[in-house]
Amino acid sequence: MAATAAASASPHSPYAITPWEVSFLDPLREHRNALIILNQPFSFALLDRVWHASRWHACADGGANRLHDLLQNHDGKDKRHLFTPDLIKGDLDSLRDDVRAYYSSRGVRIVYDPDEYATDLMKCIAALVEDERAERHVEQNTIVLLGGLSGRLDQTVHTLSLVHKLRKSRKRTFVITDDNVAWLLDSGEHRIQVDHTLFGPTCGLLPVGIDSTILTTTGLRWNLTEHPSCFDGMVSTSNHLLPDEPVVTVKTTKPIWWTMELRPLAPVTRI
């Protein structure tokens, strides 16, 4: 499984314990991921990992421009044919004509959706849900959003808001950039497996979209014990992962964002 979020009962806690393993950066493992590329910059090293760790690939409107331009001349080679998305969807106001022509020639499904009450990201997620229903999948795909935490502030806040709301219907949604990976921890107890070769040292717990929460943590340099966190009070930014601790635990009374710094990625060696 690409990134796990199964719950198990704890005899000493009123909550379930949710284990998390961020393995969608390992393209050599078998995954059930859906990648949605947003209209923000990203490196080839990051794209290469999350693409090959995904079985379904979509570009939200101008995200197709980013994909196309990065691959058209990478290290002097045209690699566009190696990364052909399944879908480009949105109101298509950002999709360039040359990019549209190229992907049309490759047989990519390009869908114009004029809905003014849905963003391009929301439209791609709706398409994923439709595909899952059509294929009668019992298990949901893990959603990996490439981009969404940089660039325009209003778009970043939209990403945070959308993932916050998605927690009610999707078990696993991650947001990743070349700088960090983040996801929402719902109320309860969480056990996060940390690969220190990929992540660290900095991390944070961000009370976005809630009035306040009570946090208890282990595995961090500055742990919290039944400590309130809110925008009017304490926010745990610039905390550190401990290199000798493979697991971080978080107990929260309200949903909270967990983020870890992403180290520079090494090339993936494939046989």
For residue 93, is it left (φ>0), alpha (ψ between -120 and 50) or beta? alpha
Q: Which two tokens stand for residue 208?
A: 């976005």
Q: Residue 8: its pLDDT value, please?
A: 44
Q: Which two tokens stand for residue 241?
A: 């992962």
Q: Residue 32: its pLDDT value, please?
A: 84
Is the pTM above the cut of 0.85? yes
State the alpha helices, DSSP H only, in 55-187: 63-72, 97-105, 120-134, 153-166
Task: Please say whether the beta carbons of 65 and 26 come within 8 A.
Answer: no
- Spatial separation of the C-alpha atoms in residues 95 and 87, rounded to whole Å: 13
- Report residue 82: phi and psi, to 5°: -85, -10
The full set of domains in the chain, from first to last, is 28-178 (3.40.50.10240), 182-265 (2.60.120.320)
Task: Please say whether the beta carbons of 33 and 137 come within 8 A.
Answer: no
Q: Residue 136: its pLDDT value, please?
A: 72
- Smallest CA-to-CA distance from 139 within 268, 62, 33, 46 is with 33
The label of the residue with tokens 């719902």 reads 186
Please report, in tens digits, the pLDDT of each residue of the chain (271 residues total). 344 444 444 334 455 799 998 888 887 776 789 999 999 999 999 999 999 999 999 999 999 999 999 999 999 999 999 999 999 999 999 999 999 999 999 999 999 999 999 999 999 999 999 998 887 766 789 999 999 898 889 999 999 999 999 999 998 999 999 999 999 999 999 999 999 999 999 999 999 999 999 999 999 999 999 999 999 999 999 999 999 999 999 999 999 999 999 999 987 766 5
Q: Residue 146: its pLDDT value, please?
A: 97
- Smallest CA-to-CA distance from 120 within 88, 146, 149 is with 88
Task: Please say whether the beta carbons of 38 and 174 come within 8 A.
Answer: no
| DSSP conformation letters of 198-252 | TEEEEEEEE-TTSS-EEEEEESBSS--SSEEE-TTS--EEEEEB-TT--EEEEEE
Q: Which two tokens stand for residue 237?
A: 């930014």
